[in-house]
Structure 1
Amino acid sequence: MNQIRLVSDLQKSKEYYKHALGCKIDGWGHVERNDPRLGFILYQAENSEDVVPNKKPRQIPYPKNWEGPSTGCDTYAYTDWERMDGLLEQFRADGAIIHYEMKHEDQGDLLWKEFAVRDPDGYVILFGAGTSKQPL
């Protein structure tokens, strides 16, 4: 599955996804990354107002007293717990726009961590991982 992204500057977006996020890009604007798995197709928008990242959703009661999303998000990519810290540092070193830093949550039987990056048009990609709590 590949998500479609309308972008304001196709060449700038292709460079960002390639260099800052470590993706492979072909001449058509297909963006791929294997670890974690991402897939996009970048299209040049006809007008800048056509570029519309998702807004923050309405807060509702969630299980386990979760407050809900703190920001709008366009993609959620899951990866391995052990990989998260290195992935954030890799993105930071490669010039990715860090939308928010690593967050840690205790969800009762599960520990969760996530961070988010943003592309030049404001599309937000969350990266998250969970691990089971080990009994003492």
Structure 2
Amino acid sequence: MTEKFSSLTVLMVSDLARSQTFYREVLGFNVNDWWTERGGLHGVALKLFQAADPADVKPNKSPAGGGYAVDVQVYTNTWAQLDALYEEFTSKGAVISVEPVIYADGGPWKEFVIEDPDGYHFAFGGTDGK
């Protein structure tokens, strides 16, 4: 018997309606009362929970040795897809925490990072699989 599993990332948010609007209008996710997802991004799905207290919202902190924090990593198949996402998100007013950068190690690997209204960081990246 083959079992099929799936997962989603749970984020505590300070204002559920604001977060739902952001994920729908800025990032182009399909949003309903239970979760938010965007097809074509390797099954990226999120569960947004209203925090009882804003202090319960805790994005990852930047590493002590430098660099930047990432709460969700999203993989793309090609750099063309990555560049299209960057253009889409910036045209809709997304806050870019890290502009597109290419790292020689890992492929090479290219990514950029956006920040949501609660300070969660989403790294979009991949190797150029064209």
Q: Same fold (TM over 0.5)?
A: yes
The reply on whether 1:35 has 2:33 as its aligned counterpart is: no
- Identical columns (%): 35
Provide the alpha-carbon RMSD of the alignment: 1.6
Number of matched residues? 121
Partner of 1:46: helix, strand, or coil?
coil
TM superposition shift of 1:58: 4.2
TM-score w.r.t. length of structure 1: 0.83
Match of 1:90 among 85, 88, 91: 88
Q: For the pair shown, which has the larger CA radius of gyration, 1 or 2?
A: 1
TM-score w.r.t. length of structure 2: 0.86
Structure 1 unpaired stretches of 5+ = 60-68
Structure 2 unpaired stretches of 5+ = 1-6
Residue 26 (structure 1) aligns with: 32
Residue 71 (structure 1) aligns with: 68
Alpha-carbon distance in 2 for matches of 1:83, 1:77: 12
Name the aligned partner's letter for residue 24 of structure 1: N
Alpha-carbon distance in 1 for matches of 2:128, 2:85: 17
Off by >2 Å, runs of 4+ in structure 1? none
Residue 65 (structure 1) aligns with: none
The reply on whether 1:100 has 2:98 as its aligned counterpart is: yes
